[in-house]
Amino acid sequence: MNIRELTTEMDAIVSKGGIVEAVQNFFAENASTSDYNGLQTANKQQMVEKMQAFAGAIQTVNGITHHRTLVDGNATASEFTFDFDMKDGSKIYWHEIIRRLWNDEGKVIQEEYFNAQ
């Protein structure tokens, strides 16, 4: 499978709320992540744990919208809007760009989140 097909498959899983599944299926063991709040993970296991905790804190998924994806070589950028009501009573509304770098085995080796607002 090429990177465009892998990204399409991963984005489809994320669009259905499968954020933990997407990490489990598509991340390399040594994948790192960082976001616009300065939070970082150093490997797949840390990211799985982070996403499990986040998913567990969601009360209601109001919407996940995948707007578009760009592919250039081994780099992809996917634009999403996430709208969640959280169990603590807060609301999350993120419009973000998720940039991924892929290795030759078709696994994400780096993922970075940018606030698209």
The pair of structure tokens assigned to 87 is 């169990």
Contact 98, 78 (CB under 8 A): yes
Where in the sequence is the domain holding 30, given as residue range(s)?
A: 3-115
- Beta-bridge mates of residue 110: 32, 101
The mean pLDDT value for 63-91 works out to 97
Give the predicted TM-score (pTM) of the model.
Answer: 0.93
Q: What was the pLDDT predicted at 98? A: 97
* pLDDT given for residue 117 in this prediction: 65
Number of domains composing the chain: 1
CATH number of the domain where residue 16 is located: 3.10.450.50
Given pLDDT bands bounded at 50, 70 and 90, which one contains residue 116?
A: confident
CA distances from 116 to 27, 42, 45, 87, 96 (A): 23, 24, 27, 25, 5
Contact 17, 9 (CB under 8 A): no
Q: What is the pLDDT of residues 25-62, one digit of tens each?
A: 999 999 999 998 889 999 999 999 999 999 999 999 99
| Euclidean distance between CA atoms 83 and 103, whole angstroms | 30
Per the DSSP assignment, residues forming a β-bridge with 92 are 84
